[in-house]
Amino acid sequence: MKKLILATAGILMGALVLPAQQQVVKSAERLVKEGATPAKVLEAITPAFSDPATAKDANTYFIPGKAFFDEYDQLLGLQQFNKLPEGGEAAMVDDLLQGYGLFMKALPLDTVVDAKGKVKTKHSKKIISTLAGHMSDYDRVAIIAFNLPEYNKAYDAWQVYIDMAQNPAIASKLPQVPADSVIGKMYYNMGVAAYQAGNMENALKSFTGSVRHDNKTKDAYDNAIQCAANLNNNELAFELSREAETLFGKEDPKYQVFMINYYLNNKEFDKAFTAIDQAIANNPGNAQFYVVKGILYDNDGKADEARKMFEKALELEPENAFALYNMGRSICEEAYRVSDAAPTTPAESEKYYNEKIVPLFKKAADYLERSWNINSENPDVLNYLENVYYNLHDEKMLNDVKARKQ
């Protein structure tokens, strides 16, 4: 008899568990009717999320989800009459983000197949119509979040907008599915938000998504390339630069410059020459391109051709510090080569030094000093100058350079 009583008690205890969790859901429904805040409703129903008896019931998520959307609608009405309470904008953002998350949990749980195999849904129609009806509001609250500033929430709200536009069930209920160019602009906004939040990975993903969704603007490409470069994703930065060059290369040379650097880093010198020739063809008045071509010639061991390019750059832009530096550097390197061929006898050596080497070092010093006076941020200029004045036996200027290096 004792065993029977214990067994019966066990059955009764098990039977009480399910109604207890269902009561949590009922309690949340009652709070909604009483006008409780969505936060209170969510707090009340949260135990049901983890209980097997209610965790797979769509109603568990639909109830608090609907409460968040209802509060948003109320706040939107107040906003239109300039009666939004303090903190109302932040609440509107949270309402739509929380509501979407809960509805998307409820939706796949809402399909029930009865004993006859008939599919029934209780909340799906309401969920889809509510989401579709609020789609433009996600752009609205994303802007609100961005201005608060709550950059991560702005990013999430624009992501929801995109997700809904690409969800066939929701998109079918929209008066008009957003064009790909609109999605591209949303991705661009997400990129700005992610960048402001310091999330470079998401910024890169978003800016790249923007150009891949018909937002072929210069800003979108520039930001995507910058983020890729910051993350050392050189392959993607090169790919984007090549695309941007075909669109904007004639107005902005930086895409060619990036491509050339990419080729140089990969030791693809023939491609680098092709790229710089194209850059010069697009922008023949850009002095910097001739400097770059001169460096390519230097790298190829063609010092005379390199010097001609530096001269061309200085014809176009006499105060170009980079061109002045490379001209000085090139002449200095020539002086080193000439010095290596100096005769060994003292008399001949001195004459050779005065006639062949000194003029080169003095000429190099002139270019290097002019470069330093324009841009004192290039430490290589001082390194060359130190060596130049050492070879010229100019102690005064040598000490001056050492002082500048401190």
Each residue of 350-404: pLDDT tens digit? Answer: 899 999 999 999 999 999 999 999 999 899 999 999 999 999 999 999 999 999 9
Residues 276-290, mean pLDDT to the nearest whole number:
90
pLDDT surpasses 70 at 21: no
CA Rg value for the chain: 35
What is the rounded CA–CA span in Å between residue 34 and residue 202?
A: 41
pLDDT at 114: 66
Contact status, residue 35 vs residue 24, Cβ threshold 8 Å? no
pLDDT at 113: 65
What is the rounded CA–CA span in Å between residue 29 and residue 219?
A: 49
What is the rounded CA–CA span in Å between residue 361 and residue 345?
A: 22
Nearest 5°: the CA angle 281, 283, 289 is 90
Strands 111-113, 119-121: pairing is antiparallel
Over the stretch 101-143, which tens digit does the pLDDT of each residue have? 999 999 999 977 667 767 688 999 999 999 999 999 999 999 9
Higher pLDDT, 363 or 300: 363
What is the rounded CA–CA span in Å between residue 92 and residue 246?
A: 43
List for the chain the helix, strand, coil content (%; round to 5). 80, 0, 20
Lowest-pLDDT range of 188-202, 203-217, 272-286, 361-375: 272-286
Amino acid symbol at 44: A
What is the rounded CA–CA span in Å between residue 164 and residue 174?
A: 10
Residues 333-346, mean pLDDT to the nearest whole number:
89
Over the stretch 65-93, which tens digit does the pLDDT of each residue have? 999 999 999 999 999 999 999 999 999 99
Contact status, residue 189 vs residue 199, Cβ threshold 8 Å? no
pLDDT surpasses 90 at 221: yes
CA 224 to chain centre: 6
> Which residues, 6 or more positions from 189, have their beta carbon under 8 angstroms from its beta carbon?
142, 146, 154, 158
CA 313 to chain centre: 34
pLDDT at 4: 37
Average of per-residue pLDDT values in the chain: 91
109 DSSP 8-state letter: G
pLDDT at 406: 87
What is the rounded CA–CA span in Å between residue 380 and residue 329?
A: 9
pLDDT surpasses 80 at 8: no
What is the rounded CA–CA span in Å between residue 389 and residue 233?
A: 42
Number of helices (H), then strands (E), belonging to the chain: the values are: 21, 2
Alpha helices (runs of H) in 34-147, residue ranges in sequence order: 38-49, 58-80, 88-106, 124-133, 135-147
Class of the 179-248 domain?
mainly alpha
Helix (H, G, I), strand (E, B) or coil at 113: strand
Residues 239-265, mean pLDDT to the nearest whole number:
90
pTM: 0.77
Over the stretch 153-173, which tens digit does the pLDDT of each residue have? 999 999 999 999 999 999 999
Helix (H, G, I), strand (E, B) or coil at 175: coil
pLDDT at 3: 42
What is the rounded CA–CA span in Å between residue 259 and residue 235?
A: 10
pLDDT at 7: 36
pLDDT surpasses 60 at 15: no
Report the b/e string of 133-150 with b at 16+ CB within 10 A: ebbebbbbbbebbbeeeb
pLDDT at 208: 98
280, 275, 289: which is closest to 322 by C-alpha?
A: 289
Which whole-number Å values give the CA distances from 262 to 172, 257, 267, 282, 285, in the listed order? 45, 9, 9, 19, 23
